Amino acid sequence: MIVQTTQKSKEQLHKELLQPDVVTGSEMLLRSLLLEDVDCVFGYPGGAVLYIYDAMHGNPNFNHLLTRHEQGAIHAADGYARSTGKVGVCIATSGPGATNLVTGIATAYMDSVPLVVITGNVATSVIGTDAFQEADITGITMPITKHSYLVRDVNDLPRVIKEAFHIASTGRKGPVLIDIPKDVSNAKAAFYYPEKVEIRGYHPTVQPNKLQVDRMLEAIAEAERPVILAGGGVVYSDASKELLEFVEKSRIPVTTTLLGLGGFPSAHELWLGMPGMHGTYASNQALQNCDLLIGIGARFDDRVTMKVDGFAPKAKKIVHIDVDPAEIGKIVEATIPCVGDVKAVLQMALPKVKPSRSEAWIKEVTENKRSRPLRYKDSDTELKPQYVIEMIHETTKGEAIVTTDVGQHQMWAAQYYKFNHPRSWITSGGLGTMGFGFPSAIGAQVAHPDRLVVSINGDGGMQMCSQELAICAINKIPVKIVVINNQVLGMVRQWQEIIYDNRYSHIDLAGSPDFVKLAEAYGVKGLRATNKEEARRAWQEALDTPGPVLVEFFVRKGENVYPMVTQGSTIDEMIMGDSE
C-alpha cells in the first residue's frame, strides 16, 4: 500500500527534485511525476520503457504498482482519478503494451476522467519502419484523447509533462497521452521543470457569462414545474455542496444521471433517483412533464433521453450548464446555454437564486416517488441480486466507495445502493467497458487505504480482469470483491428476451470457473452464498476479514432490470416489470 508523504518531507523532496542536474529522460520523467505529487503509477514494463523502469529501481520516493495486464493498469489509474479528483497515471511499453491501453483511454475520454498515459516507443531512428513492437499510438488514440505528444527531444520532456497534467485536469477533463521513444528516455540533458503552463489556443472557459446565469435565474422564478438533471460534471467540478445549497434555495427536484450518482445526497426529499432507460418512474415522469429543465454537467446521453424528439416535450425552456461548449446543443437544444465550470456557475447563481413556484409540483413528484418506488419480487428460495445490493448498502450504510463492472449488476447497484457522498460511485458510463470494475476498485483502494472499497461485478466482466487478484493478494489491497453470478451475460439475455423474442444467442456462461477456487489460487480468501442466510453470513465475514476477499453470490438466471425503456421509446414508456 502507498505510504503518504508528509508535507514537510514533500517540500524537501520538491526542493531536491528541482535541482538543475544533467539527467536522463527517464529520470526527468520520474522527477516530473513526483513534482506533480503523483502518489502511485500503475503499469507494466517492456522493452521500450526499460530505461524508465531502470530509473525506478532503488528510488524510495517513487511508487509503482505492477498490474497483470496493461488494461488493468489504466482502469486502476482511472479508479484512482475518479475517487480522488487527481490525475491518474499509468505506463506501458510500445506496440501491444500501448494498444492494450486503448479501451481504458476511450473509457476515460467518454467519462471525462483526467489521466496522463505514458507509453514507450521504438527509437526515433526507426519510427515508421514497422520496427519490432512499433505502433503509432498517438495516431491510434487521436480521437479518444484530449491531446497527445510524441516526444522526439529530451529537452522537451519536462514541459510536455507539465502541459499534459494541465490539459488533463482543466476544462473538460480527460486523458492525455505522452509517447516517449526509447532513445529519448536514455538521452541526457539539464533538468528544468517549468513553474507555469502557457498553451496557445487552450483557454477553457471556467467563469460563465453573467447574462446567461441571470437568464437562468429568471426562468427559475417563472417556472412552476422545474427539474434539475445533474450529471457527472457536478462530481468532477467538486460542486456537490453548491448544488445542494442551490436546490434548497430554489426548491427544484433533482434527478442524477448514472455518473452523477453521489453528486446529490440520495436521502434528500427532493432527490427523485436516476433517469433514463433504467431510471425511476418519478425521475422519468418529472423530465417528461417539467416546464423548465436545467441540465447541470450532464451531456444528455442517449440512455437518459432515449427517443430524443420525445424528450422533455413540455419544457418551455432548457438550461444547459457545461464546461465543454461542444456539448451544448449537441443533442438537446438549449434555450439558455451556459458555458462554464459547474462550481463557478452555481457559485455565481447562489447569492441571487430565489424559490421557484414549485410546491404543487413537488407534491406531485414526491407522490410519484412514494407510489411507484423501485421494487422487485423477493424470494425465500432464490437469492435475488437486488437483495444482495440492498444488503451491501445496509451493512456499509452508504459510506463505501463502490465500483462496478458493466451489465445488469451495474444497474442494480445504481438503483439499490444509496450514495451519501460524491466520488463514492465509480462505473464506466459512456463506453460501458466490461473488465473495468475490479481494477478501478484497486486504484480507488490505493488512493484511499483506510476506506472500505467494494467492487461489484458480474461473472462475465470478472473474467476479463480476474488476473488482478494477484496484486490484491501480494500488496494486501483490501478490496471486497462481489461477483453476482447468474451464469449468463445478463443484460444481453434481457435484451434478447424482451426485444428479440427469447432468441438467446451465445450468452451462456455456465462454463465459468469456480470463482472461490480462482480467488484462492491467487491467495485471496473466497466465499460463496446461494441463499439469504448464506449471503448475510458470507458478506459479514468478508467485512470482518482484513485484506481482500471475494464473495460469489449465486443468483437467479432469469432476473431482469426494471424499470426498462426500450430503444425507440420515450422515457415515460416504461416497462415496470413483474412487480406491476
Catalytic residues: 70, 132-133, 182, 491
Give the single-character DSSP code of 462.
G
Contact 283, 258 (CB under 8 A): no
The CA-based angle 115-107-490, given to 5 degrees, is 145
Nine cell digits for residue 470: 494477484
**How far is it, in rounded angstroms, from Cα 72 to Cα 468?**
7
The 10 Å Cβ neighbour count of residue 3 is 9
How many helices and strands (H and E) does the chain possess? 23, 19
Nine cell digits for residue 381: 428460495
* Amino acid identity at 577: G
Strand partners, 147: 176
Residues in CB range of 111: below 8 A, 6 or more apart = 82, 232, 259, 428, 429, 430, 431
435: phi > 0 → left, psi -120 to 50 → alpha, else beta; which? left
**How far is it, in rounded angstroms, from Cα 38 to Cα 434?**
27
Dihedral pair phi/psi, residue 64, rounded to 5°: -130, 135
**How far is it, in rounded angstroms, from Cα 91 to Cα 89?**
7
Where does 174-312 show beta strands of DSSP type E?
A: 175-181, 188-190, 226-230, 254-256, 292-296
Grid cell 428476451 is found at 497
- Give the neighbor-by-neighbor strand order of the sheet with 41-44: 64-66, 41-44, 88-92, 115-121, 175-181, 147-150
Contact 290, 227 (CB under 8 A): yes
H-run or E-run covering 551: strand 549-554
- Cα end-to-end distance, the chain, whole Å: 48
Contact 414, 402 (CB under 8 A): no
Contact 319, 335 (CB under 8 A): yes
Nine cell digits for residue 311: 424528450
Q: Closest Cα partner for 441 from 78, 43, 69, 4? A: 78
Question: Is 47 buried (19+), middle (13-18) or exposed (0-12) by CB count in 10 A?
Answer: middle
Residues in CB range of 192: below 8 A, 6 or more apart = 20, 158
CA 518 to chain centre: 27
